[in-house]
């Protein structure tokens, strides 16, 4: 009986576990040491529950902030946001003119081809490792099939 209860508890825990979001197409613009870089990507949430990006850590910047750019009345503006919701089974794109990461106080220059490792931290507690590759434009979408 104890074995059956332990097995049921393990199944309950496994089914309650949330699938971690994924980051695809992560890239950053080239920037000089000490300057601010910008990070872009697409976040995908395969889980049946919504999640949210709440923080980003990287050794290549003193601080990372999440920002959102927008246009209103012909004027561009940018504001810092505390979180970006990623809907259940959905995605959010970080791109020039929209959501983006600000890598503030770069600890080294980011030249084309360089990679900036980062950890994306989600409200669910998930931590996703990603590498932002320096490029002058977004990488072409991958057409790979699992």
Q: What is the pTM of this model?
A: 0.81
Has residue 100 been placed in a domain? yes
- Higher pLDDT: 125 or 146? It is 125
The boundaries of the domain holding residue 59 are 18-134
Residue 9 counted as domain residue: no
| Domain assignment of residue 115, yes or no | yes
- pLDDT of 104 > 50? The answer is yes
Name which residue leads in pLDDT, 28 or 146.
28
How many beta carbons lie within 10 A of that of residue 57, not counting itself? 13
Q: Is 144 part of any domain?
A: no
User: What pLDDT score does 1 carry?
Assistant: 54
Residue 1 lies in a domain: no
* Domain-located, residue 95: yes
pLDDT for residue 6 is more than 60: no
Give per-residue pLDDT as tens, 106-123.
999 999 999 999 999 999
Residue 119 lies in a domain: yes
| Domain of residue 91, CATH code | 2.60.40.1890
Q: Is 11 part of any domain? A: no
Q: How many domains does one find in the chain?
A: 1
């Amino acid at each position: 009986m104890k074995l059956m209860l332990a097995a049921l508890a393990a199944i309950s825990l496994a089914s309650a576990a949330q699938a971690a979001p994924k980051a695809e197409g992560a890239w950053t613009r080239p920037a000089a040491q000490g300057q601010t870089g910008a990070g872009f990507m697409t976040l995908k949430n395969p889980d049946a529950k919504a999640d949210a990006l709440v923080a980003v850590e990287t050794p290549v910047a003193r601080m990372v902030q999440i920002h959102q750019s927008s246009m209103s009345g012909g004027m561009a503006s940018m504001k810092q946001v505390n979180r970006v919701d990623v809907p259940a089974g959905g995605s959010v794109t970080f791109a020039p003119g929209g959501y983006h990461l600000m890598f503030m106080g770069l600890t080294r220059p980011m030249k084309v081809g360089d990679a900036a490792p980062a950890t994306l931290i989600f409200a669910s507690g998930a931590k996703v490792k990603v590498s932002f590759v320096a490029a002058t434009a977004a990488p072409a979408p991958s057409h790979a099939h699992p």
